[in-house]
Amino acid sequence: MRIRTVFFLSLLYAALIVLPHFLKYHQQDFLIFLTINILVVVSYRLVTLTGEWSLIHAVMMGVGAYTSALISKNFDISFWITLPLAGVMAGLVALLLSYPLFRMTQFYFLIGSFAAGEAIRLTWIQFIKPFGGTGGTSAIPSPELMNIDFLEPIPYFYLVLIVVSICVYLLYRIENSRIGLTLHAVHWKGVLAESVGVNTWNYRTLAFVIGSLFVGIAGALKVHYIGTVAPKQFDIGFMVFILIWVIVGGYRTFYGAIIGAVVLSILDEILRGVEQLRPAIYGATLIFFILYLPGGLESLPQKIRQKFRANRESAT
């Protein structure tokens, strides 16, 4: 790591550790959800690296959430065990689904993943035992560790920060490893990659399973804080938010999606006063970005620089 990166990161973490103490209660809540959402978008990025945009990521988050919630509630098993289990379960479901889903590409994959996700979500609604139906399941136990009260937002925020940091770091390493580079190759030069012996099917599956695993963990983190898990939390509406975050932030670099999630979540907080209008503003933002700034927010500095240079050149 370069010295500048180290400096920047330590500054960021110092700020993040101090920040919650200066916030109001609902702002602390907001910070926790934002941190979890960062893991959601970063894990989604891994899935999209191969060029296939799935519409099942939100439901995979739900698979992790339900797994952790139901196991810890019904079998009285500690959160520290159910958290990794949530990831494993989401990964397994993804592995199972990959057989039918990856027989499709592009349009078919999109619709297929939407259908599979919706079928899973409707299963949670239909089978009141054990999932709890439309209202979901509540009274999910919160984590226990020594005497820390994880019902309070600040300790839970630190927990989330640690878990998310580790996961995001792992995802970062995966993307920059040989596997990640191969995934890029599968996306941009799929046929060429196959011709040099890359099994594209396996790599697509790998990305899908790993992405789902991490988003499963994110789901568990979320519901153990709220205390309730319900099908509504993981519907197509939330999936669309994930898409919006990634697109508005920019999907060409690793940090683009994070920028999108942070900026739009803050916008979302500001719009809290005009609850009814919120979806429309989101929709308009999405359309604006895809039409006029397809590179997302991350491409903005470069765009502005280019503009300046062009102006200077035309002036001389």
Contact residues for other proteins (CB under 8 A)?
Answer: 53, 100, 103-104, 106-108, 110-112, 114-116, 118-119, 122-123, 125-126, 236, 240, 243, 247, 276-277, 279-280, 282-287, 290-291, 294
Q: Which is nearer to other proteins, 79 or 251 (CB)?
A: 251
Q: How far is the CB of 20 from other proteins (least distance, A)?
A: 31
Q: Which is nearer to other proteins, 122 or 151 (CB)?
A: 122
Q: How far is the CB of 126 from other proteins (least distance, A)?
A: 4
Q: How far is the CB of 250 from other proteins (least distance, A)?
A: 14
Q: How far is the CB of 298 from other proteins (least distance, A)?
A: 17
**Does residue 24 come out as left (phi exceeding 0), alpha (psi in the -120 to 50 range) or beta?**
beta
DSSP letter at 137?
B
Q: How far is the CB of 221 from other proteins (least distance, A)?
A: 26
Q: Which is nearer to other proteins, 78 or 106 (CB)?
A: 106
Tokens of 170: 């792992």
Tokens of 1: 């790591």
Q: How far is the CB of 19 from other proteins (least distance, A)?
A: 31
Q: Which is nearer to other proteins, 106 or 306 (CB)?
A: 106
Task: Give the amino acid at 26.
Answer: H
Q: How many residues does the chain have?
A: 316
Q: How far is the CB of 216 from other proteins (least distance, A)?
A: 21
Q: Which is nearer to other proteins, 14 or 290 (CB)?
A: 290
Distances (CA, A) of 295 to 48, 55, 198, 249: 15, 21, 29, 8
Distances (CA, A) of 94 to 105, 159, 185, 209: 16, 26, 22, 5
Q: How far is the CB of 78 from other proteins (least distance, A)?
A: 33
DSSP 72-102: HHHS---HHHHHHHHHHHHHHHHHHHHHHHT
Tokens of 56: 């099942």
Distance CA 232, CA 120 (A): 12
Tokens of 204: 């697509």
- Report yes or no: 150 and 143 within 8 Å, Cβ to Cβ: yes
Q: Which is nearer to other proteins, 285 or 299 (CB)?
A: 285
Q: Which is nearer to other proteins, 27 or 237 (CB)?
A: 237
Q: Which is nearer to other proteins, 247 or 259 (CB)?
A: 247
- 148 strand-pairing partners: 145
Tokens 């035992």 found at: 129
